[in-house]
Chain A
């Protein structure tokens, strides 16, 4: 442990009780702090003598740096340090999968907003002005801004090794099959932003041992630590991270943003350094969802059975790799959707360009393909004159259907049931457009742009598939330390992991698991930090599964040790303990035998002993995919969800009002039903956002709308009621049968909304987000 004290407001544990076990809608232990304003996010921390940091970023997407003059910044009163790449003591590069991104730019700028220099000063405004005072001389270069062009072989090379960051081919089943009907389509997905409300922020405190303590928002403490150690030139044990309150993530915090910058400034100045990005900087400071072009060809029989799917997918990864290679694999693996097909020929590429870097966002490659394959399914249904649900039912995956990778889906795959339930849910009434209508209910709302004459109702369906957990042979594990002791006569369990709580409710679930497994009332959740082993990333919908599994395993190890101790102490009174230990349980603070007779209270048995176990948990192993054929067993678990969207579209103004979203999702086992609903409703909203609102506009490499004024996320007026049905088909491979919940709702939400707009308007609509001018055909 370091010798530094916690920053003001940072907590080291959450004391509030988790009042319930698995399967109950238990309230969040951090909830009271969050509603009173006392929950300390990474932007709320404070330390004595603290300095503020600011970043200088490139105004150009592609340029050579001829010189950087920091002297004017250093002259400003209150400025303590100005650092450039020259001041990085260790590796000048970082990256999740490919180490290619400069901590601070040197030689060339590769995207608009790339960090060049950092400043520490006594006031955030001083730091900002000092950053702007730095003089950089650029030689402006032509940016490569089109992914197709970037990989055409004709474009300038952006990174040594070429502009194809990864190509994932999949060749499944017999090739070159003929089909009765061939349906082709080309689709485009815009660049979506995660837009978590909490800005990137953190506090770095230099320690007396030459190391550093960081309190910040992230999705994966240990991968940050590993990258920071190489950048700072420190052994990992001297880089200690503690999770501060995280204001949402959705993939945006999987890569480093401000981490290395505040660490470098703190080590240089010997003082605590805090940074809080503005919203504008946040848009430049994290990776986005990959925009993509997806070209599809489906061959089907007259009866509507898929014969083959051919797909060519090109994703724009932007200037640096981030998690592009894994996103590309996901796009390829999920290119067909939750359908059986005899033959698949897929080529997915992710390209380097001079656009903003793209990486993880909720849905991770499966969102882009989800829009394309579901658009294709509707187009096939229309071509065949078939009901779109009927077409999907004819091709729906079932248990043991094969993925295009050849991997069997060896647990529940209730695709048909999802579709049938969506179809059978009651529909919302038509918005009244005769006497007594309320203009608020019409597209355009309070803007009062229609009295309903051009308003058309549309209904659309979509279903999607997504993997849970890291893939392609990655050693995907989590660690939990569980301690049982008696405090004031009462058994108390403490759970400690490094898993990032980003709002999803893992902090509640850890407590529910401990209560259920160990039969105690009081569970204390330690704030996550690097003093315990890695939990892996809060992404890929994996934490309930993997960290939940680790807490379960560590709790069972503690229970086993307690029972062994009971044998030692009480075996003479309870001879069955010796041979039938498994029949004994811990419940309500007591140990009871198979006939429910009291053996001992935990308080009486444990006394002043401490039982503590640390355990790792892994999901079942996956394998890499073959680089030529794409065949393998790359995934640990699959999740399925579907949506039905009901929209009103004003064909005169192009305004869309989504009236209702209905959704059905299999969650294996709803361990906290209220939290599960929250994930489903929130994921649905982000899919709706991509369908009709959200896009980072990049023109010739420059970001045009880095603000919440110009980048529109759904408001409460945009988001309709969500009607959800939760299915619980336990996955026999997963802890408690659970299936990761977070991402599946973002896959099918987008295509369902667009399908509904198509039905209302009769337009083809091959690009998301659909904007009003696409509907009024003014462009």
Chain B
């Protein structure tokens, strides 16, 4: 089938998509956007988190056909031309990145959280990120990164 959708602000048309493919497969293998990761492909780990029409979803659980005409934002669409998104920069500065496989999904989920709640408490952060598994960090530095990003975004008046 032919699929047309907007990805990171750009209209994409893709031919020969097999209807059984997931949005994750289409992004990774047909659009050259491997930022969303394939750690479990059953919606348990959050590594493939993207925004679909403004809603945080696991791209592995969305069938390709469901995104016809939709607007998708992936981790690749977050950074500016010269600067990283403040959430990306905060993950780096806090040391929240080790192997990095969970990182894109966590960053997308963190952006989603901070758009909804500019000053989350620790327990709100934990609840918001409970669907994103990380095997390397033990999460301490991820919490640090979210707190740091929240402070910087507040300071920059982004909310």
Contacts and interface: CB of A to CB of B under 8 A. Distances in A.
Interface of B: 18, 20-21, 25, 28-29, 32-42, 44-45, 47, 74-76, 78-79, 84, 88-89, 91-93, 95, 97-104, 107, 123, 125-127, 129-143
A346 interface: no
12 contacts: A38-B76, A40-B34, A41-B34, A43-B37, A198-B39, A198-B99, A502-B99, A674-B141, A678-B141, A682-B98, A686-B135, A715-B131
A196 B36 contact: no
A96 interface: no
A125 interface: yes
Interface stretch (A245-253, A514-522, A646-654): A245-253
B76 A685 contact: no
A598 interface: no
B92 A716 contact: no
Contacts of A198: 37, 39, 99, 101
A123 B127 CA distance: 38
A504 B123 CA distance: 28
Interface string A670-685: 0000110110011111
A686 B29 CA distance: 32
B97 to A, nearest CB: 5
B20 to A, nearest CB: 6
B129 A716 contact: yes
A263 interface: no
B18 A709 contact: no
Given A37-B35, A717-B127, A247 B97 contact: no
A38 B42 CA distance: 23
B84 to A, nearest CB: 6
A125 B95 CA distance: 38
B11 to A, nearest CB: 20
By size class, the interface of chain A is: 35 or more
A278 B41 contact: yes
Contacts of B132: 715-716
A505 interface: yes
A276 interface: yes
Nearest to A37: B35
Interface of A: 8-9, 25, 27-28, 30-32, 34-41, 43-44, 46, 123-125, 194-199, 245-250, 276, 278-279, 438, 440-441, 446, 502-505, 674-675, 677-678, 681-686, 707-709, 713-717, 719, 721-722
Nearest to B100: A34
Given A37-B74, A38-B35, A503-B136, A197 B99 contact: yes
B142 A716 contact: yes
A197 B102 contact: yes
B137 A446 contact: no
B44 A682 contact: no
A-B pairs, top 10 by smallest CB distance, nearest first, are A37-B35, A503-B99, A34-B100, A247-B101, A681-B138, A685-B138, A708-B44, A44-B34, A503-B98, A37-B75
B122 to A, nearest CB: 9
B140 A709 contact: no
Contact of A505 (B35, B41, B98, B101): B98
Contacts of B133: 197, 708, 713, 715
B126 A717 contact: yes
Contacts of B88: 35-36
B95 A675 contact: yes
A677 B95 contact: yes
A197 B97 contact: no
Contacts of B34: 9, 37, 40-41, 43-44
Contacts of B97: 28, 31, 34-35
A37 B47 contact: no
Contact of A36 (B35, B141, B143): B35
Nearest to B25: A124
B139 A719 contact: yes
A37 B76 contact: yes
A519 to B, nearest CB: 26
Nearest to A684: B138
A713 B136 CA distance: 11
A281 to B, nearest CB: 11
Given A125-B18, A682-B98, A708-B133, A197 B139 contact: no
Given A35-B84, A715-B130, A681 B39 contact: no
Nearest to B21: A125
A32 B82 CA distance: 12
A278 B42 CA distance: 10
Given A35-B88, A441-B123, A716 B39 contact: no
Given A38-B35, A707-B44, A721 B130 contact: no
Contacts of B89: 35
B95 A674 contact: yes
A345 B47 CA distance: 48
A196 B98 CA distance: 12
Nearest to B47: A197
Contacts of A27: 92-93
A771 to B, nearest CB: 19
Kindly name the residue among A28, A34, A44 whose own CB sees the greatest number of chain B CB atoms within 10 A: A34
B140 A36 contact: no
Nearest to B101: A247
Kindly name the residue among B78, B138, B142 whose own CB sees the greatest number of chain A CB atoms within 10 A: B138
B100 A503 contact: yes
Given A37-B35, A37-B104, A717-B127, A248 B135 contact: yes
A40 B28 CA distance: 11
A708 B99 contact: no
A35 B125 CA distance: 19
B146 to A, nearest CB: 10
A122 B127 CA distance: 41
A274 to B, nearest CB: 10
B135 A195 contact: yes
A438 B135 contact: no
B45 A440 contact: no
A121 to B, nearest CB: 13
Contacts of A41: 34, 37, 101
Contacts of B47: 197
Contacts of A707: 40, 42, 44
Contact of A438 (B40, B123, B129, B137): B123
Contacts of B93: 27
B141 A279 contact: no
A31 B45 CA distance: 21
A196 to B, nearest CB: 6
Kindly name the residue among A198, A438, A674 whose own CB sees the greatest number of chain B CB atoms within 10 A: A198
B141 A681 contact: yes
Contact of A678 (B32, B40, B137): B137
Contacts of B78: 36
A279 B41 contact: yes
Contacts of A681: 137-141
A36 B98 CA distance: 14
A39 B79 CA distance: 14
Nearest to B142: A716
Given A28-B92, A716-B130, A125 B99 contact: no
B139 to A, nearest CB: 4
Contacts of A34: 97, 100, 103
Kindly name the residue among B36, B84, B134, B136 whose own CB sees the greatest number of chain A CB atoms within 10 A: B136
A41 B136 CA distance: 16
A246 B135 CA distance: 13
Nearest to A681: B138
A684 B132 CA distance: 18
A440 B127 contact: yes
B103 A35 contact: yes
Contacts of A32: 84, 92
Nearest to B38: A43
A446 B127 contact: yes
A30 B127 contact: no
B99 A246 contact: yes
Kindly name the residue among A40, A124, A685 whose own CB sees the greatest number of chain B CB atoms within 10 A: A685
Contacts of B75: 35-37
Contacts of B35: 36-38
